Amino acid sequence: MASTSSVEATKQLWDDTLARLLNLSTATVTRNTELQARLNEAELELSVWKQAHSAALDSAERDRKAHMLHVATLNSQIASLQEIGTQSPLMLCIIDGDGNIFSPNLLTQGVQGGRQAAQELTRGIAGYIQDHDLPVGTSVVFSVVVFFNRKGLLDTLVSHGICTTEQFEAFFLGFGQASPRFWTVDVGIGREPADTKIKDYLQTYGRFPQTLRIIFGGGHDNAYMPTLTAMENEQLLGKVVILQGCDDLASEIRSLDLPILRIDGLFMEHKLSSASKKPGPIPLGGLWSITTNGGLLSPRSPPVCSPSELDGRFIDPSRVKSPPPCNEHYLMSCSKGGSCKYSHDYILTPDQLGALARNAKKAPCNYLKNGLTCPHGDRCCWGHKCPNGPSCFHLSKGKCWFKGDAMHSPVD
């Protein structure tokens, strides 16, 4: 009996030991599985942090390079500003040669007259610098550019008996030879090319820090008012001095109260009388084209008869008229007087005035086009709204002349 009990006790002991070993093995396997999972998670997290660290290093390197480039750019700009500070100041003279016409006494002298005009202009501006104690230092760069319609001005002067073609050409040759920085620019037919170039020169050179003054020979024409107003908004108008030619300044430009420089004997003191001009015939109905007036795109006017045809007979519609009638003169008022490139001498019938008015509305008002309030209001002869309204084909292409805000609202 005792032997049987001992065997059973031993068997039970081994069973218990095996059970404990099995439990321990199961617990060990479970624990190892948990630890392996945690290890895998830790390795994954470490990989993510390594990637983030690498990305942060790359970003920091890019930022460092961008910062160094920015610093280099700033250093270059500072060097440029320091160089500008050591440069001679610029005195730029811009002349509208169609409105400010040189003196007949100078024109008739040909080459010598051109050189004398350049000398008197230089002497007058030098006197202005001295009288107003401008900070020019030891030297100043002085440049002159005259914009004009060579053929139109020549025809006008010859038709008025001011000078001959040879004297005209010789005068501007002498003027340009006076200095490498004296330029004459033929802008071709029409006012728009001259206005555009002069306005661009005013604003571009007005922004240059080395530009001390702009001597502007264009105070006769209100068409420059939007540009001068824009310069005033940029606080650049203090650089502008009006070089007065004829007796009268345009009313709106006079209201700016800008300094005025007058050089006696340089320009004609009075506007040319339009009475002595000989405007030719113009086409009658249906022959419309686009011309310019005071810097604005405007339709060529309808048929008229000239003062020389006061017998009431109308001219042949197949013949071409030059210059066309002035839209502003016939539809409201023209501030250019005798210097206007368009005729004030034709006699228009009511029907012709109506056609002139309708076609003027097809060209945009220069004030609204430049984001300004039109001082003429309902009296303005130019278009305040695009005739094609919101569905304008040219607007969709970005080529419509009516560029001002609300100029494509529905037409009343």
Closest-CA residue to 278 (of 302, 312, 306, 309): 306
DSSP code for 191: S
As a whole number of angstroms, the distance between CA 381 and CA 371 comes to 17
pLDDT of residue 202: 92
As a whole number of angstroms, the distance between CA 360 and CA 321 comes to 18
Q: If you average pLDDT over every residue of the chain, what do you get?
A: 79
pTM over the 0.75 mark: no
For residue range 16-54, list pLDDT tens digits in order: 888 888 888 888 889 889 989 898 898 898 888 988 888
| pLDDT above 90 for 389 | no
For residue range 326-384, list pLDDT tens digits in order: 888 888 888 776 678 788 877 778 878 888 888 888 888 888 888 888 888 888 888 88
As a whole number of angstroms, the distance between CA 344 and CA 160 comes to 16
In the structure, what pLDDT confidence band is assigned to residue 304 with cuts at 50, 70 and 90? very low
As a whole number of angstroms, the distance between CA 349 and CA 352 comes to 5
As a whole number of angstroms, the distance between CA 390 and CA 408 comes to 5
| pLDDT above 60 for 128 | yes
Closest-CA residue to 181 (of 90, 84, 85, 87): 90
As a whole number of angstroms, the distance between CA 103 and CA 171 comes to 11
Share of the chain above pLDDT 70, in %: 81
Q: In this structure, are strands 90-96 and 260-262 parallel, antiparallel, or unpaired?
A: unpaired
Structure tokens at 46: 């470490």
Residue 133's Cβ-side half-sphere holds a number of Cα atoms within 13 Å equal to: 0
Backbone region of residue 93 per phi and psi (left: phi > 0; alpha: psi in -120 to 50; beta: other values): beta
Q: Is the dihedral of CA 352, 335, 407, 191 positive or negative?
A: positive
Domain segments of the chain as ranges: 86-262, 274-396
- Answer for the pair 226, 370: CB distance below 8 angstroms, yes or no: yes
242 contact partners, CB below 8 Å, separation of at least 6: 216, 217, 219, 249, 253, 258, 259, 260, 261
Q: In this structure, are strands 141-148 and 182-186 parallel, antiparallel, or unpaired?
A: parallel
